[in-house]
């Protein structure tokens, strides 16, 4: 079996060069390891992904051509620099473990990391100076400096600076690099939130009920969910995602369509709200993700869901639905703190591409809503082209729907004109957009 350090380097390479998400890659590589080793691997992998560009800047101060070494060696040095600048590990371990994994590039890695140790104070001052200089620059120059220091693409930071100003954009990108809390949603069909809170505290896990969602528990912990002993009693779900299901407001006995359902967190929440009665059609076109959905439903003890593998475009059921949720495919810029690889996968053109897809899906599913029924459209994106713009375009083309501007459970502070937005830097939640639409009688 590979060492934890070797496993971390392999995981970084697979995420940066392939389609895999960090959690999936880590699960596949470190599933059989001890909890301590898995936690070490997770910190290095997510840390390098959060700060890749800043680490590369430091490498450029230490090497003439960092790109001249193989990817594996580059990721090894990134991991070593992350340990030196961000982790409390013995200096010898940060260097020696990296050197031991190298072959013909051993001398390069040894020289670079030992030089980084000697110049760590100088480099930290240079980085601090860059931060200070950025505050006095014009907004676009500040955006470029901010992008490098927080390892976000320049186009992304520039968008946010233009939209919010440099100060708030800075808060957002810094929040994206913070380790998010572990947030759970309680399966109320099997237990109560207070009981889960008490159980976690008895096990030594500090936690508190979520402030907005009545069904959530928030832990300041990086422990994997599997180590909490709550299988079937709760599942991992950010508070913002919980608010989306609450906006749908499904009632026991109704017929509901979850139009982009996998991997099933919101499907399970809808079933909980409906007391596992009526019928929920969970639709998705990805068979592998639907398998995960069915596993989640089985673990939660849910029986009211009918799983359908199909493409939403053109999907019809003659009887229609009382409630329809479309949690649409999107750029996912609102969940960067949980999936830092998104920063490097997205291009600016993706936003308009996703916007077109979302409009098509929303228009396609609208006819499935019964007169008097409710349609909730949601995305985990921060960008208006994937939220407000899509809805305004839809309402112009479909006069049968109106925005519901007063939704129970959702405080007015989170809504504007009926649109709900949550933010990592303002609310401590993932960045979500959602709106509830009512079909006229």
Delimit the domains of the chain by residue range: 4-121, 136-176, 182-236, 239-439
Tokens of 42: 């997770």
Q: For 129, what's the count of Cα atoms within 13 Å in the CB-facing half-sphere?
A: 6
The model's pLDDT over 34-44, given as tens digits with 9 standing for 90+, comes to: 888 999 999 99
Residues above pLDDT 70, as percent of the chain: 99
**Is 380 among the residues known to form the active site?**
yes
Task: Give the pTM.
Answer: 0.94
Return the CATH number of the domain spanning residue range 239-439.
3.40.50.150
Q: Which residue has the higher pLDDT, 129 or 293?
A: 293
Question: Is the CATH number 3.40.190.170 carried by domain 182-236?
Answer: no
Q: How far apart are CA 200 and CA 218, in angstroms?
A: 11
Catalytic member of 260, 330, 380, 398: 380
Mutual orientation of helices 154-164 and 139-150 as an angle, nearest 10°?
130
The model's pLDDT over 379-423, given as tens digits with 9 standing for 90+, comes to: 999 999 999 999 999 999 999 999 998 888 888 888 889 999 999
- Per DSSP, the residues of 265-280 read HHHHHHHHHTTT-SEE
Question: Is the CATH number 1.10.940.10 carried by domain 4-121?
Answer: yes
Q: Which residue has the tokens 């939660």?
A: 300
CB atoms under 10 Å from CB of 314, counted, come to 7
- What is the overall mean pLDDT for the chain? 94
Q: Which residue has the tokens 């300041």?
A: 220
Beta-carbon contacts of 145 under 8 Å, excluding residues fewer than 6 positions away, are 130, 131, 133, 134, 137
pLDDT-derived band at 1, boundaries 50, 70, 90: low
Q: Region 65-91: what's the mean pLDDT?
A: 92
Q: Is-same-fold flag (182-236; 239-439)?
A: no
Residues above pLDDT 90, as percent of the chain: 81
Q: Which whole-number Å values give the CA distances from 261 to 284, 287, 290, 311, in the listed order?
A: 6, 11, 8, 12
Q: Region 358-367: what's the mean pLDDT?
A: 96
């Amino acid at each position: 079996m590979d060492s934890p350090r070797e496993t971390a380097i392999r995981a970084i390479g697979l995420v940066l060069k392939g389609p895999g998400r960090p959690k999936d890659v880590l699960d596949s590589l470190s599933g059989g390891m001890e909890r301590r080793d898995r936690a070490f691997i997770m910190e290095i992998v997510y840390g390098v992904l959060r700060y890749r560009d800043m680490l590369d800047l430091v490498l450029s101060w230490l090497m003439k051509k960092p790109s001249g070494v193989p990817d594996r060696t580059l990721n090894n040095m990134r991991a070593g620099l992350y340990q030196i600048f961000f982790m409390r590990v013995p200096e010898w371990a940060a260097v020696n473990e990296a050197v031991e994994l190298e072959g013909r590039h051993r001398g390069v890695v040894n020289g670079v990391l030992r030089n980084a140790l000697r110049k760590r104070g100088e480099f930290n001052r240079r980085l601090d100076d860059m931060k200070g200089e950025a505050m006095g620059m014009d907004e676009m120059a500040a955006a470029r400096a901010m992008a490098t220091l927080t390892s976000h693409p320049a186009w992304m930071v520039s968008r946010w600076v233009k939209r919010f100003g440099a100060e708030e954009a800075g808060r957002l990108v810094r929040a994206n690099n913070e380790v998010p809390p572990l947030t759970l949603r309680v399966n109320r069909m099997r237990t109560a939130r207070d009981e889960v809170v008490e159980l976690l505290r008895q096990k030594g896990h500090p936690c508190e009920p979520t402030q907005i969602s009545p069904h959530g528990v928030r832990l300041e912990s990086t422990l994997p969910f599997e180590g909490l002993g709550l299988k079937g009693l709760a599942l991992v779900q950010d508070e913002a995602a919980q608010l989306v299901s609450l906006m749908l407001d499904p009632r026991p006995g109704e017929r509901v369509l979850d139009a982009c359902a996998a991997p099933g967190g919101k499907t399970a929440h809808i079933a909980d709200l409906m007391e596992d009665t009526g019928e929920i059609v969970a639709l998705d076109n990805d068979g592998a993700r639907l398998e995960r959905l069915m596993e989640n439903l089985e673990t939660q003890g849910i029986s009211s869901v009918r799983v359908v593998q199909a493409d939403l475009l053109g999907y019809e059921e003659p009887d229609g639905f009382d409630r329809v949720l479309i949690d649409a495919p999107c750029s996912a810029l609102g969940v960067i703190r949980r999936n830092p690889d998104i920063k490097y996968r997205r291009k600016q053109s993706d936003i308009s591409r996703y916007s077109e897809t979302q409009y098509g899906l929303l228009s396609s599913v609208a006819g499935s809503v019964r007169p008097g029924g409710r349609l909730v459209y949601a995305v985990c994106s921060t960008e208006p082209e994937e939220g407000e713009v899509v809805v305004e375009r839809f309402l112009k083309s479909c006069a049968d729907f109106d925005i519901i501007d007063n939704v129970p459970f959702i405080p007015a502070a989170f809504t504007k004109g009926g649109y709900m937005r949550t933010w990592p830097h303002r609310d401590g939640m993932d960045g979500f957009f959602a709106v509830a639409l009512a079909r006229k009688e």
